[in-house]
Protein backbone atom coordinates (compact mmCIF):
# COMPACT_ATOMS: atom_id res chain seq x y z
CA UNK A 1 0.00 0.00 0.00
CA UNK A 2 1.20 3.52 -0.85
CA UNK A 3 2.25 5.28 2.38
CA UNK A 4 0.25 8.36 3.41
CA UNK A 5 3.37 10.49 3.56
CA UNK A 6 6.60 9.90 1.76
CA UNK A 7 9.87 11.84 1.66
CA UNK A 8 12.44 10.85 -0.95
CA UNK A 9 16.01 12.05 -0.50
CA UNK A 10 14.85 15.48 0.65
CA UNK A 11 17.30 18.37 0.92
CA UNK A 12 16.57 21.67 2.62
CA UNK A 13 18.57 24.88 2.70
CA UNK A 14 17.96 27.59 5.26
CA UNK A 15 19.77 30.70 4.06
CA UNK A 16 23.16 29.44 2.98
CA UNK A 17 23.05 26.42 5.30
CA UNK A 18 22.44 22.99 3.88
CA UNK A 19 20.38 21.57 6.77
CA UNK A 20 18.70 18.46 5.39
CA UNK A 21 21.03 16.47 3.17
CA UNK A 22 19.00 13.44 2.29
CA UNK A 23 16.03 12.61 4.46
CA UNK A 24 13.87 9.73 3.35
CA UNK A 25 10.91 8.65 5.35
CA UNK A 26 7.48 7.05 5.16
CA UNK A 27 4.39 7.20 7.32
CA UNK A 28 1.71 4.59 6.83
CA UNK A 29 -1.93 5.37 7.44
CA UNK A 30 -3.05 4.55 10.96
CA UNK A 31 0.42 4.27 12.39
CA UNK A 32 2.62 6.40 14.62
CA UNK A 33 6.00 7.06 13.04
CA UNK A 34 8.68 8.46 15.31
CA UNK A 35 11.59 10.63 14.20
CA UNK A 36 14.61 10.05 16.41
CA UNK A 37 17.98 11.74 16.53
CA UNK A 38 20.14 13.87 18.75
CA UNK A 39 19.82 17.63 19.24
CA UNK A 40 20.35 19.50 16.02
CA UNK A 41 19.97 16.37 13.88
CA UNK A 42 17.26 17.96 11.73
CA UNK A 43 14.04 16.53 13.14
CA UNK A 44 12.22 19.85 13.44
CA UNK A 45 13.45 20.93 10.02
CA UNK A 46 12.09 17.69 8.59
CA UNK A 47 8.60 18.51 9.89
CA UNK A 48 8.86 22.11 8.67
CA UNK A 49 9.92 20.89 5.27
CA UNK A 50 6.91 18.60 5.01
CA UNK A 51 4.74 21.67 5.66
CA UNK A 52 6.66 23.94 3.31
CA UNK A 53 7.66 26.30 6.12
CA UNK A 54 11.27 25.62 5.16
CA UNK A 55 10.68 24.38 1.61
CA UNK A 56 12.73 21.52 0.22
CA UNK A 57 15.47 22.46 -2.20
CA UNK A 58 15.73 18.96 -3.58
CA UNK A 59 14.02 15.60 -3.44
CA UNK A 60 10.32 14.98 -3.18
CA UNK A 61 7.60 15.09 -0.54
CA UNK A 62 4.33 13.42 -1.38
CA UNK A 63 1.19 13.25 0.68
CA UNK A 64 -1.73 10.99 -0.11
CA UNK A 65 -0.15 10.24 -3.48
CA UNK A 66 0.24 13.91 -4.54
CA UNK A 67 3.51 15.76 -4.84
CA UNK A 68 3.42 18.64 -2.33
CA UNK A 69 7.12 19.58 -2.53
CA UNK A 70 6.51 22.93 -4.20
CA UNK A 71 3.16 23.77 -2.65
CA UNK A 72 2.73 26.65 -0.22
CA UNK A 73 2.22 25.99 3.48
CA UNK A 74 -1.48 26.82 3.68
CA UNK A 75 -2.26 24.55 0.74
CA UNK A 76 -0.28 21.68 2.26
CA UNK A 77 -2.06 22.20 5.57
CA UNK A 78 -5.44 22.23 3.84
CA UNK A 79 -4.71 19.00 2.06
CA UNK A 80 -4.91 17.47 5.54
CA UNK A 81 -1.76 17.95 7.61
CA UNK A 82 -1.93 19.34 11.14
CA UNK A 83 1.11 20.73 12.94
CA UNK A 84 2.04 20.94 16.62
CA UNK A 85 5.32 22.85 16.71
CA UNK A 86 8.10 22.40 19.23
CA UNK A 87 7.19 25.68 20.97
CA UNK A 88 3.48 24.86 20.61
CA UNK A 89 2.76 28.05 18.67
CA UNK A 90 -0.09 29.15 20.92
CA UNK A 91 -1.55 32.58 20.09
CA UNK A 92 -0.94 33.85 23.58
CA UNK A 93 -3.22 36.89 23.60
CA UNK A 94 -6.11 34.97 22.04
CA UNK A 95 -8.42 32.88 24.18
CA UNK A 96 -8.51 29.10 24.00
CA UNK A 97 -11.72 29.40 22.00
CA UNK A 98 -10.13 31.84 19.55
CA UNK A 99 -7.06 29.63 19.20
CA UNK A 100 -9.35 26.79 18.18
CA UNK A 101 -11.36 28.99 15.82
CA UNK A 102 -8.30 30.00 13.82
CA UNK A 103 -7.98 26.32 12.93
CA UNK A 104 -11.67 26.05 12.07
CA UNK A 105 -12.14 28.88 9.59
CA UNK A 106 -13.82 26.48 7.22
CA UNK A 107 -16.24 25.10 9.76
CA UNK A 108 -18.04 21.96 8.61
CA UNK A 109 -20.03 19.16 10.12
CA UNK A 110 -16.80 17.22 10.39
CA UNK A 111 -14.79 19.90 12.19
CA UNK A 112 -17.63 20.32 14.67
CA UNK A 113 -17.64 16.59 15.33
CA UNK A 114 -13.87 16.66 15.76
CA UNK A 115 -14.21 19.55 18.18
CA UNK A 116 -16.54 17.48 20.33
CA UNK A 117 -14.11 14.58 20.27
CA UNK A 118 -11.19 16.75 21.21
CA UNK A 119 -13.03 18.50 24.04
CA UNK A 120 -13.88 15.12 25.46
CA UNK A 121 -10.24 14.17 25.21
CA UNK A 122 -9.02 17.41 26.82
CA UNK A 123 -11.72 18.52 29.25
CA UNK A 124 -9.33 21.16 30.63
CA UNK A 125 -9.78 23.14 27.45
CA UNK A 126 -13.48 23.48 28.11
CA UNK A 127 -12.75 24.74 31.61
CA UNK A 128 -10.40 27.40 30.26
CA UNK A 129 -12.37 28.13 27.10
CA UNK A 130 -12.41 31.91 27.67
CA UNK A 131 -8.93 32.16 29.12
CA UNK A 132 -5.95 33.58 27.21
CA UNK A 133 -3.74 30.93 25.67
CA UNK A 134 -0.71 32.62 27.21
CA UNK A 135 -2.05 32.00 30.71
CA UNK A 136 -2.28 28.23 30.38
CA UNK A 137 0.19 25.88 32.03
CA UNK A 138 2.78 24.11 29.90
CA UNK A 139 0.75 20.92 29.78
CA UNK A 140 -2.45 22.75 28.92
CA UNK A 141 -0.68 24.60 26.11
CA UNK A 142 0.45 21.28 24.72
CA UNK A 143 -3.12 19.96 24.85
CA UNK A 144 -4.41 23.10 23.15
CA UNK A 145 -1.80 22.85 20.41
CA UNK A 146 -2.70 19.22 19.77
CA UNK A 147 -6.43 19.90 19.85
CA UNK A 148 -6.02 22.80 17.44
CA UNK A 149 -4.04 20.70 14.97
CA UNK A 150 -6.55 17.88 15.27
CA UNK A 151 -9.78 19.80 14.54
CA UNK A 152 -8.48 21.18 11.25
CA UNK A 153 -9.61 18.09 9.40
CA UNK A 154 -6.20 16.45 9.57
CA UNK A 155 -5.39 13.09 8.08
CA UNK A 156 -1.86 13.44 9.41
CA UNK A 157 -0.57 15.12 12.55
CA UNK A 158 3.03 16.28 12.87
CA UNK A 159 3.89 16.60 16.56
CA UNK A 160 7.27 17.98 17.60
CA UNK A 161 8.59 16.88 21.02
CA UNK A 162 5.33 17.00 22.96
CA UNK A 163 7.02 15.91 26.18
CA UNK A 164 9.57 18.71 26.19
CA UNK A 165 9.71 20.59 29.48
CA UNK A 166 6.74 18.82 31.05
CA UNK A 167 6.53 16.97 34.37
CA UNK A 168 6.38 13.15 34.11
CA UNK A 169 2.77 12.97 35.20
CA UNK A 170 1.77 15.47 32.50
CA UNK A 171 3.84 13.64 29.90
CA UNK A 172 1.83 10.55 30.75
CA UNK A 173 -1.40 12.41 29.98
CA UNK A 174 -0.04 13.79 26.74
CA UNK A 175 1.02 10.32 25.64
CA UNK A 176 -2.40 8.92 26.47
CA UNK A 177 -3.96 11.65 24.38
CA UNK A 178 -1.71 10.82 21.45
CA UNK A 179 -2.70 7.17 21.74
CA UNK A 180 -6.30 8.29 21.67
CA UNK A 181 -5.82 10.54 18.63
CA UNK A 182 -4.14 7.65 16.87
CA UNK A 183 -7.59 6.08 16.60
CA UNK A 184 -8.61 8.90 14.29
CA UNK A 185 -5.51 9.95 12.42
CA UNK A 186 -1.97 9.10 11.36
CA UNK A 187 0.81 10.63 13.45
CA UNK A 188 4.42 11.58 12.89
CA UNK A 189 6.09 12.28 16.19
CA UNK A 190 9.43 13.73 17.14
CA UNK A 191 10.32 12.37 20.56
CA UNK A 192 13.67 12.41 22.37
CA UNK A 193 12.39 10.36 25.27
CA UNK A 194 13.11 6.86 24.00
CA UNK A 195 10.89 5.15 26.56
CA UNK A 196 7.92 7.14 25.32
CA UNK A 197 8.88 6.79 21.70
CA UNK A 198 9.15 3.04 21.88
CA UNK A 199 5.87 2.77 23.72
CA UNK A 200 3.70 4.58 21.22
CA UNK A 201 5.67 4.36 17.99
CA UNK A 202 5.01 1.71 15.36
CA UNK A 203 7.97 2.69 13.21
CA UNK A 204 11.09 4.76 13.70
CA UNK A 205 13.33 6.81 11.47
CA UNK A 206 16.73 7.74 12.76
CA UNK A 207 18.08 11.06 11.54
CA UNK A 208 21.66 12.23 12.05
CA UNK A 209 23.36 15.30 10.58
CA UNK A 210 20.40 15.95 8.33
CA UNK A 211 20.31 12.45 6.86
CA UNK A 212 18.20 9.37 7.40
CA UNK A 213 20.57 6.72 8.74
CA UNK A 214 18.14 3.94 9.52
CA UNK A 215 14.46 3.20 9.70
CA UNK A 216 12.29 0.24 10.51
CA UNK A 217 9.81 -1.22 12.97
CA UNK A 218 10.09 0.18 16.47
CA UNK A 219 10.29 -3.30 17.98
CA UNK A 220 13.52 -3.96 16.08
CA UNK A 221 15.16 -0.78 17.34
CA UNK A 222 14.41 -1.60 20.96
CA UNK A 223 16.73 -4.60 20.71
CA UNK A 224 19.48 -2.86 18.74
CA UNK A 225 21.75 -1.50 21.46
CA UNK A 226 24.51 -0.51 19.08
CA UNK A 227 22.26 1.77 17.02
CA UNK A 228 20.81 3.34 20.11
CA UNK A 229 24.24 3.96 21.59
CA UNK A 230 25.66 5.38 18.40
CA UNK A 231 22.89 7.79 17.49
CA UNK A 232 20.87 8.38 20.62
CA UNK A 233 23.53 8.01 23.30
CA UNK A 234 21.53 5.43 25.23
CA UNK A 235 21.48 1.71 25.84
With CB under 8 A as the contact rule, the residue among 25, 83, 128, 150 that binds another protein is: 83
Count CB-CB contacts under 10 A for residue 126.
Answer: 11
Choosing among Mg ion, another protein, ligand ATP, none, which partner's interface includes residue 39 (Cβ < 5 to 8 Å by kind)? Answer: ligand ATP
Stretch that binds another protein, among 32-40, 61-69, 97-105, 216-224 (CB under 8 A): 97-105
Count CB-CB contacts under 10 A for residue 207.
Answer: 26
With CB under 8 A, what is the number of residues at the site for another protein? 25
To Mg ion, the closest distance from the beta carbon of 40 in angstroms equals 8
- Which residues are bridge partners to 10 per DSSP? 23
Choosing among Mg ion, ligand ATP, another protein, none, which partner's interface includes residue 14 (Cβ < 5 to 8 Å by kind)? Answer: ligand ATP
Chain residues that interact with Mg ion, rule: CB under 5 A = 44, 86
Question: Pattern 81-100, binding to ligand ATP, x per CB under 6 A?
Answer: -----x--------------
| Residue 86 or 202 with smaller CB distance to Mg ion | 86
Helix axes 168-181, 138-151, angle to 10 degrees: 10
To ligand ATP, the closest distance from the beta carbon of 54 in angstroms equals 7
To another protein, the closest distance from the beta carbon of 117 in angstroms equals 18
Query: Which of 208, 225, 229 shows the shortest CA–CA distance to 38?
Result: 208
With CB under 8 A as the contact rule, the residue among 30, 40, 70, 72 that binds another protein is: 72
Contact residues: another protein, CB under 8 A? 51, 53, 72-75, 77-78, 83, 85, 89, 91-94, 98-99, 101-103, 105-106, 134, 148, 152
Amino acid sequence: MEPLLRMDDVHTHIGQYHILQGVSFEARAGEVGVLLGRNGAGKTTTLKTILGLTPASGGRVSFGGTDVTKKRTHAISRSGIGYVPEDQGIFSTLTVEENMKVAMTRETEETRKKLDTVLELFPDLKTFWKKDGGHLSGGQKQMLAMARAFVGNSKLLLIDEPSKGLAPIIIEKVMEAIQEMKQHTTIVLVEQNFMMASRIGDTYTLIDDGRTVQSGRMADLAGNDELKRKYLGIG
